[in-house]
Structure 1
């Protein structure tokens, strides 16, 4: 049994790069060889922010790059454009890259590939070269189960061939899984091209012998019966020093946090991709003023086109809080001064919040975030949702009311801490996720 040499290929967004970087570190610690492939554009962004890539020197992870096929000035926040360009340009370049990596050390050729969603074309390339493959799914295992059921949902007349529900209803996908509202399917709001891409990904994914998920049996107990390939290896919570970022983190808020009372600070972050409507942005700003509690609010400076996204309303003074462009999220979530997390419920943020034992105020935007919210509020019962008014806005009074309700709810706090303990036990020695990782590494050997 030789030492496995992994080639890891994330789709170039933070929600895919970070869990894969963390997996690389675990594999490297276990004596595996690691080559990590970023797109040139993504790699340049990751190395100019002074982010986690520098801290990986000496970890045994080698970085390589390929062009994504777009021009430097192309808008890479247009995911459709990026996906299409990558799928058109990178597959023909990958075999040569593998050859070059292998030539550097002939006794240590690439033996296994791990890719994230939208990069499954690489599994095909690997398959043709006799390289084993696995997928790291970046969302919840429940989202994977839903996407995996698309053909069945079409056949049963639940959705049409565009992914649109035939009628609104609650369905139970598998026995003892929470019921799903058909309005909340992860692909809702996507156009036909995007939906077809997802359907194709779910097919190509089957070339991966394992579907690794950043989750645990306790978080989503009913899902794992859907396929023996599903392997929970979470929580993949990298320390913040090893998280990569496209923006420079503002760490000054940590000193400010040290001066706040225990369980007093509200943390607001909607991840690396969500964009908020200006009217909604105003309501949130004014809601934070109304709340009159210390807060840390992450407002990304601009979108990738460098347009100024949102202006603060005139009457906003925000004197109780700190507004930062990007934040060391894990350190904030684990700080004793933190009271709750207003989150878009992206899966990585959901797992980080659970691992910190912090109650959630759920503010999902799209994709799998609505499904994650139903777990947070209905299954684990560690958070509450926000209600919109007739125009679809979450008003400032609603924000204040729900935060106050959440901070007074001792049951939610107790359950949050219990959930943290259950989840973290998985990565202890002898924990279920640790055993699964061992199984995966032995398979790669």
Structure 2
């Protein structure tokens, strides 16, 4: 295989270039592709994937060439370069576990950037025929690709919304603090650092961890995977819980300002609970917690935003699991009540004093004292209250029958009958 190579000067210019910040939308799309590929039969993957090696300075793909293949980065780094290779206008780095070239492959259009090896690189190549074979033998793969592209669009819209919000806030501050230039610059820097912390310093590395885990699922021998399944499960569940925390953190401010459009649709509450439970199934089993769910057969669907209601359930369940003792009990029930559904989650942990039951829905509140371990709630319950209220529901804490533990109750409108 004949490979074009950068000149020494071009390669030095590339290494000296200041890379653009990682785009969370691109990271989200790459992670989604890795998740999809990790579900495909390993024998088929071995047939459609070809391993390729490149040395530093090798030009893997050229801008303007037809998108006939996508690549999974197994090891090493590559640079995504837009503009001439002798004087690039945009340079982005991609690391092991990430995907490059997938958009041109999907769109059947010329590539919008060149790809250059920065280190000794190992790639897994999937060409157009192999990709089509995946779509043919796994029809759900195509559906999931559409979902991943939709997620990429939502991530891009989310970033645009956050940046727009920051811009509006800074404009308002500038109007009222024009004479205080130093204070304004400090405020602008603080806001920008907070935005970078959430979108870049937290989300992007977390996405890299997840794609790396999925890469291990693809390349490790099956016997090694079996021997280390528990460790991989712990890592994957921890990623999902951290991602849930970051998403809640991003949504709190937007929900406070009524800046979150909800995608309302009829939803099965038992299915939402099952999906939220997967985040804690490992911990529940390890700690011997008895998790009981009771749903009447005639329970109607709820009318809600799937992602945000699932996160409400995950945050409440996270809180219950955290404070329920070993071999304890958690129960979740749901009943229809007029035009809404009432959900009740009860644990037998340390409980919450009546005086604290309003305060726990404030940022970083804590409850409990003395010999009982304090219950810290961070932003989880703040998010739950804002998300439930955005659905025209209510959330509160009430006494348990025996006075032991805590009981959270929230209501969500029932979906109208057809």
So what's the TM-score if we normalise by structure 1? 0.29
So what's the TM-score if we normalise by structure 2? 0.30
Q: Which has the higher contact order (CA 8 A, sep 6+)?
A: 1
The structure with the greater share of residues assigned to helix is: 2
- Between structure 1 and structure 2, the one with the greater Rg is 2
The structure with the greater share of residues assigned to strand is: 2
